[in-house]
Structure 1
């Protein structure tokens, strides 16, 4: 914490001259920049412009998309179910990451170096870690909730407001632990790659930062990924077994279908599982490159360049765009509410919930919003 108390606040641009990507590094940031990066020439300014445009575009999309999700859930009573608190938490963490971090990184890309000093480096990296951790654990909790509903069924513990709040507290507790640890001496936050973003120190081979990075990877990437894969493996197995049994029974009775409203709900649960799997797959497609970069830095530097590290950071931020798109295209009840409040945001037909089994559709809509 001592480094935070004596740091200037705000942007300062004071170039040095060492003939590399570190040419414009601020004097007070020099001790945080790993010597490995000094061997690389400065990036072509074109790449900084491309990255800045990309970041601004996904930032605007994330602000609008997640802001809309928060607004719709806040103003639509039927969507405010206990399980949907996890969805709101996910949208909130995605929204917060892009609102707070996008302007900082975009400014750095314009100046082609980190201009905000060590204090904002800590703030930027800490917020990115907290929001990223919250997002992945929110998705993990959604997967576990779906496992509880679909696989365990009546024997599972129902989601309540208290349970949902407890899970959200756990999510942010995990984020806080891994965010604050570097500020108290377990690893540290440093400029990355082309020095326009800050993150965990993955270049040092000292036991302190290495142990933090290993534990961080286990608890913020591997563990939730394993739980998500476990949950959806059994969800898909349960839905497949149910569908197979229904088809076999229909053949024996010489009828086309045995579906009742409850069975329609089960089918909706299967569709929900597919939607959630797509969402989570997109999330991991965005974050895996950044995790791989961290692991490469941990076990050896070969292959790391300023360009691929900054692209890893940008891809990670793109995860914040995916969830609102999935909601808008795959959740009937959300689409109904969105069309009522913002008709121009919805394309195609929207099920008004009056056709077919009203009870089944209502339940299907509610369960879909949980993902």
Structure 2
């Protein structure tokens, strides 16, 4: 995880109060006191309790919906399940121990427990970040593909999920074998990578971790969603009012995704760099706990943004609460299956062909009904006599046949 850390190796120069307690725990294998006041520990405990409770509930609910409703078991939703599982593991393997440490004012599970905590939470946190990048790329590649996505093909998504875990292991195993190391961070209520050791070994690892586990996923997310938004903007040639509505909706979703990513993870990165390259004592224990808490809020925010703002999941959630079958709209195919080339039988190319393609792209986040393949004597037209409905139902595509000659 990327956050300012107070390690035993940097005790002499950083915070004597924390290091004295940490040294006792380190030498004796027991617990050590934190550097926060009782009030500070209480505030942190309340925040962690809120995050742990709602993160656990949100992610468990996502898994229940996925298991309960067969219609949700599409490739794109399988990737969302991977994000929820990694966030759920953080709520189970990390938050309870830091919450207990805050309530008691000391780390409770010793040095080995600290190393395990740092490794497990770093692993799950990076899996979540990489999965968000894979999700954005999958949406981009599906929308821009020349053929219709196959909703029964799980191979591509399965490879993406395996890659996210393997990639995370590549960057979280090295501290266990000597390339940097895990230890207490901030005021001593959590553990992570050592950000304060000024050795070449530690600095090289931190630079690589910052670039490949924070900056690269962020650039992938911005690029993919930026390309999709650019394509949707070009659909204005078909129906200006419909285009503006969809463009605003997608733009809102993209901005929310990017902003939440930055709010949760950018403070981690900034604090890590300040602790690594700044003078000793620049980052206080009180300040360093804030990025750690913000990063853990991603376990609460991710299910809300990527799942419950999805109409298909939301309708199933409503059905689960009301103990009834989902509404008919939720039975439509997943938005990952956008028939970008269902009209490949259409004659002619050029601007009109581009507009037809972009019209299908504009269905991002909206289930799209399968469009039958047409012969050369047919062409699609958009029914612009009806204003977009308030419940965001799929746009009607009317088909007009023309006789040759």
TM range (shorter): 0.7 to 0.9
Q: Distance between the aligned counterparts of 1:107 and 1:54, measured in 2?
A: 12
List per-residue Cα deviations over 1:44-80 (Å, max 9, x = no partner).
2101001001101110000000100011012211110
Residue in 1 that maps onto 2:191: 198
Moved more, 292-301 or 64-73: 292-301
Deviation at 1:174, TM superposition (A): 1.0
Q: Distance between the aligned counterparts of 1:118 and 1:61, measured in 2?
A: 29
More helix by share: 1
Q: What pairs up with 1:84-123 in 2 under 5 angstroms?
A: 84-123=77-116
Q: Is residue 2:321 matched to residue 1:321?
A: no
Residues 272, 145 of structure 1: CA spacing in aligned structure 2 closer, same or farther, 3 A cutoff?
farther
Residue in 1 that maps onto 2:278: 300
Q: Distance between the aligned counterparts of 1:343 and 1:47, measured in 2?
A: 42
SS in structure 1 opposite 2:145? Answer: helix
SS in structure 2 opposite 1:194? Answer: coil
Residues 156, 224 of structure 1: CA spacing in aligned structure 2 closer, same or farther, 3 A cutoff?
farther
Match of residue 142, structure 1, among 135, 144, 161: 135
Q: Distance between the aligned counterparts of 2:188 and 2:69, measured in 1?
A: 43
Residue in 1 that maps onto 2:327: 352
Deviation at 1:318, TM superposition (A): 0.5
Q: What pairs up with 1:202-241 in 2 under 5 angstroms?
A: 202-241=195-234
Gaps of 5+ in 1: 1-17, 33-37, 249-256, 345-350
Q: Distance between the aligned counterparts of 1:19 and 1:127, measured in 2?
A: 28
Residue in 1 that maps onto 2:266: 288
Deviation at 1:341, TM superposition (A): 1.4
List per-residue Cα deviations over 1:87-123 (Å, max 9, x = no partner).
0000000111011111110111123232321111111
SS in structure 2 opposite 1:199? Answer: strand
Residue in 2 that maps onto 1:54: 47
Residue in 1 that maps onto 2:154: 161
Contact residue 94 and residue 320 of structure 1 kept, 8 A: yes
Q: Distance between the aligned counterparts of 2:184 and 2:234, measured in 1?
A: 50
Which of these two proteins has the greater Rg computed from alpha carbons? Answer: 2
Q: Is residue 2:165 matched to residue 1:187?
A: no
Q: Distance between the aligned counterparts of 2:222 and 2:148, measured in 1?
A: 19
Contact residue 229 and residue 247 of structure 2 kept, 8 A: no
TM-score, normalised relative to structure 2: 0.71
TM-score, normalised relative to structure 1: 0.78
Deviation at 1:362, TM superposition (A): 4.8
SS in structure 2 opposite 1:25? Answer: helix
Gaps of 5+ in 2: 1-14, 338-363, 368-405
Moved more, 139-148 or 22-31: 22-31
Deviation at 1:363, TM superposition (A): 5.2
Deviation at 1:327, TM superposition (A): 5.0
Q: Distance between the aligned counterparts of 1:273 and 1:172, measured in 2?
A: 30
Residue in 2 that maps onto 1:128: 121
Q: Distance between the aligned counterparts of 2:129 and 2:301, measured in 1?
A: 13
Residue in 1 that maps onto 2:6: none
Deviation at 1:283, TM superposition (A): 2.6
Residues 197, 304 of structure 1: CA spacing in aligned structure 2 closer, same or farther, 3 A cutoff?
same
SS in structure 1 opposite 2:173? Answer: helix
Residues 102, 42 of structure 1: CA spacing in aligned structure 2 closer, same or farther, 3 A cutoff?
closer
Q: Distance between the aligned counterparts of 1:269 and 1:123, measured in 2?
A: 45
Residue in 2 that maps onto 1:173: 166
Q: Distance between the aligned counterparts of 2:126 and 2:316, measured in 1?
A: 29
Q: Distance between the aligned counterparts of 2:101 and 2:63, measured in 1?
A: 29
Residue in 2 that maps onto 1:310: 289
